[in-house]
Amino acid sequence: MIRATSVIYLDEKRPKKNGQCSVKIKVTYNRKRKYYSTGIELYSDEFEKATKGQRRTFDQKQLENEMLAFQSKANNVIKVLPIFTFDRFEEMYFEQRNASNSVSFAFDKYIEDLKEEDRIGTAVSYECAKNSLEAYQKNLSFAEVTPKLLKKYEANMLKNNKSISTVGIYLRSLRAVYNLQKIDSSIYPFGQGKDKYTIPTGKNIKKALTIEEISKIFNFKTTPNSIKEMAKDYWLFLYLCNGMNVKDFCLLKWENIDGNMLSYKRAKTKRSQKESKLISVALKKETLDIIKKWGQPSLVKGSYIFPHLKKEMNAEKERATYQQLTKIINKYIKKIATEVGIDKNVTTYFARHSFATVLKRSGAKTEMISELLGHSSMSVTESYLDSFENEQIQEQTDVLTEGFNKAN
């Protein structure tokens, strides 16, 4: 009978900026391995001395005992499981660790869940939040998460030149993890009013171009079939397709197109909404030209339109592909913007803001703009509106290319 085993493991493949590495418990079963954080971070030589040193100090022995305690917990769970599965192991293992009221352990459990669901980007975001909180206060417990501590954390972050937006992102992650714990609601630290901490929101910096500026980009001449031309065309495609993001762009398949309409669901909101909103995009001549130029024709409806993702890619590889393509688009669109005299730090996110702003200035209703953007947070708008007719979408979005020919 195959039995699971656990060992203390120093993750030297992913060192921190200061050179320290995470001490983890490596659990192996049927040739599959999974790693569980202990919250301890050490340099390689510290780990070696604590676990293998000939003449260890009292502190080094204490450190080894602390690490062995985690391994002992893992072994105890393995022993009592009649049939081993990683899901059941994690349920019992994290249950024991949660008894210590540890914030980092609760983060670890949720991060593991996110990775299991292939939500790699979200997992990375929560990992950053956890590391920031741990850097501020080691071994932070939920009992210590009070409005006073949260205010001090915010002040410390701002003192160290972190933006208020970053503070908000990290503390919203903490709040989400906190909400998963069974903690007395009377001591809940988040909220409005006296004796509560309100998570800050970042200043919404406008990132939109005018139709005249967008027309300059459209009419900018590039070397045919160059990376620069591809970056320009991709940015325009994102703008014309309701301010689509690069991930959704890469995920587009031929089955998403029906005549002169493209419909898709935002990957960002697929898991956050019970019924993910279907976004309708009016395909213009310019959009179809970009698809014809850079798309990969296929008779298989389930094939990707653009040649960046492969079906055999795992979630990590897909995410790396989105990020790399975003960097390429941003690099060249910034160069193009400079060359045509646009004094703005243009990125792919400008495509989304520009889409909304151009439509707004044209007189389009705010409700329709919200519909086309697929905003999931505007619950009132979402409940009020079902959808707009395709003809109305075509008519309203004609303004997106109105200035192109004029610029010629």
Q: Does domain 211-407 have CATH number 1.10.443.10?
A: yes
Instruction: Please state, rounded to an integer, the average pLDDT across all residues of the chain.
Output: 86
Q: Give the pLDDT confidence score for residue 390 in this predicted structure.
A: 54
Q: Give the pLDDT confidence score for residue 186 in this predicted structure.
A: 81
Q: Give the pLDDT confidence score for residue 176 in this predicted structure.
A: 94
**% of the chain residues with pLDDT over 90:** 50
Q: Give the pLDDT confidence score for residue 95 in this predicted structure.
A: 66
- Residue 364's Cα: distance from chain center in Å? 31
Tokens 């001591």 belong to which residue? 187
Lowest mean pLDDT among 295-304, 338-347, 388-397: 388-397
Q: What is the pLDDT of residues 302-334, one digit of tens each?
A: 999 999 999 889 888 999 999 999 999 999 999
pTM (two decimals): 0.62
d(CA 100, CA 383): 43
Q: With cut-offs at 50, 70 and 90, classify the pLDDT of residue 1.
A: low
d(CA 302, CA 287): 20
Q: Where are the beta strands (DSSP E) in 225-310?
A: 257-258, 261-265, 278-282
Rg of the chain (C-alpha set): 26
The three-class DSSP label of residue 22 is strand
More confident residue, 100 or 240: 240
Lowest mean pLDDT among 1-15, 200-214, 231-245, 280-294: 200-214
Q: What is the pLDDT of residues 46-104, one digit of tens each?
A: 999 998 888 888 888 888 888 998 898 889 888 888 889 998 888 888 765 554 578 98
d(CA 81, CA 99): 19
In the predicted model, is pLDDT for residue 227 greater than 70?
yes
Q: Give the pLDDT confidence score for residue 99 in this predicted structure.
A: 46
Average pLDDT over residues 28-32: 92
Q: Give the pLDDT confidence score for residue 386 in this predicted structure.
A: 36
d(CA 138, CA 275): 40
* Cα angle, residue 276 at apex, residues 270 and 281 outer, rounded to 5°: 100
* Cα angle, residue 42 at apex, residues 124 and 31 outer, rounded to 5°: 65
Which sequence spans correspond to the domains of the chain? 5-187, 211-407
Q: What is the pLDDT of residues 368-392, one digit of tens each?
A: 877 787 765 554 333 322 344 455 5
Q: Is 384 within 8 Å of 196 (Cβ atoms)?
A: no
